[in-house]
Amino acid sequence: MSLALKARKVGLRLLEAIPTVIGILVVCFLLTRALPGDPAAYFAGPMADAESIEQVRRNLGLDQPLPVQFVNYVTDLLTGNLGMAISTGQPVVAELATRLPASLELTLGALLLSFLIAVPLGVMAATRPNTWVDHLCRFLVTAGVSLPTFFTGLALMYIFYYLLGWAPAPMGRIDMMYLPPETVTGFYTIDTLIAGDWETFRAAIAQMALPLITLALFTLAPIARMTRAAMLQTLGSEFVRTARAAGLNGRRVLVTYAFRNALLPVVTTLGMVFSFLLGANVLVEKVFAWPGIGSFAVEALVVSDYAAVQGFVLSMALLFVLLNLLIDVIYTLIDPRVGEES
């Protein structure tokens, strides 16, 4: 397939994301309106009387019919205004801007770590069935799916912080002794490297290690399992037999013929795993007092802070769309057959 055709396919896939985004806006808006509790009463505070609550309601535009509110909401969105978070008194946009990188750093880091461990593990398990590697793979997969993240988080904390004292106090993104690096990407690990501050970099990594391992253990399971299954399938396929019969060496058969084909379903799995991760993130952030978007959302929900919840749901949904888009684009690029069947 020519490059131009691929580019067109990718472009079309990008366009397809637009209706999804519109749908998200509608659902996100309606969902927060369906939350129990009266936001106007919260905004006005516990001392307010009926009249001032009414005043707040008018100020917030909550007395208007839903369609009008929706139009206002979308107009605000277009100007980058997501409203004020009651719980912190900050604009929601500002909250998200500082907290989203913290969550993303954790999530992407965990995804990368588990990918780096799970894929070789799955490949080794598939090429050496019923050996210790295969059993180890099976053990990790079972452990990964059966242990809840808050438990692994607490257990790791107990062992490595409380008993052994290897890990720093599980309080936020960086030890109090250090100053956060100057914000470039919002990822402390990257920002410290840009600043060339090795010591802070090490501190940030140390702080991140336990939550990262917790999340990675959780995502290891589906990736390793999928890799193993996909590898077993491609290794048993007829084209691998052809490659062997042609005398290609083991490495070439394994990598170019079996693994590249096995990677296709694994890439699809990655998208799914990422969405599990975002869900698991909320709990892990709570356990490790990580100042991410997940813990922010939980707090906002508890106090019925609709602007904050709306902002959270919207940003998460957009992240999902973006990620699925990315996976699809990668898939289109690595599999020449995509879209040819129709």
Per CB under 8 A, residues contacting other proteins are: 1, 129, 236-239, 241-250, 252, 256-257, 260-261, 264, 334-337, 340
Q: Which is nearer to other proteins, 158 or 239 (CB)?
A: 239
Write down the least CB distance from residue 282 to other proteins, Å: 38
Write down the least CB distance from residue 259 to other proteins, Å: 11
Q: Which is nearer to other proteins, 155 or 334 (CB)?
A: 334
Q: Which residues pair with 91 in a beta bridge?
A: 84
Write down the least CB distance from residue 264 to other proteins, Å: 8
Closest CA to 311 of 63, 44, 62, 81: 81
Write down the least CB distance from residue 161 to other proteins, Å: 46
Write down the least CB distance from residue 251 to other proteins, Å: 11
Which phi and psi (to 5°) does residue 38 adopt?
Answer: -110, 110
From the number of C-beta atoms within 10 Å of its C-beta (0-12, 13-18, 19+), residue 266 rates as buried
Q: Which is nearer to other proteins, 177 or 245 (CB)?
A: 245
The DSSP code sequence of 283-317 is HHHHHTT--SHHHHHHHHHHTT-HHHHHHHHHHHH
The DSSP code sequence of 82-147 is --B-TTT-SBHHHHHHHHHHHHHHHHHHHHHHHHHHHHHHHHHHHHSTTSHHHHHHHHHHHHHHHS
Q: Which is nearer to other proteins, 177 or 246 (CB)?
A: 246
Write down the least CB distance from residue 118 to other proteins, Å: 22
d(CA 281, CA 303): 20
Q: Which is nearer to other proteins, 52 or 233 (CB)?
A: 233
Closest CA to 30 of 62, 70, 64, 65: 70
Length of the chain (residues)? 342
Q: Is 48 helix (H, G, I), strand (E, B) or coil?
A: coil
Q: In this structure, is the dihedral angle defined by the CA atoms of residues 230, 253, 113 and 194, taken in order, positive or negative?
A: negative
Q: Which is nearer to other proteins, 197 or 335 (CB)?
A: 335
Write down the least CB distance from residue 250 to other proteins, Å: 8
d(CA 143, CA 152): 10
Q: Which residues pair with 84 in a beta bridge?
A: 91
Q: Which is nearer to other proteins, 51 or 238 (CB)?
A: 238
Q: How is residue 180 annotated by DSSP?
A: P
Write down the least CB distance from residue 239 to other proteins, Å: 5
Q: Which is nearer to other proteins, 259 or 290 (CB)?
A: 259
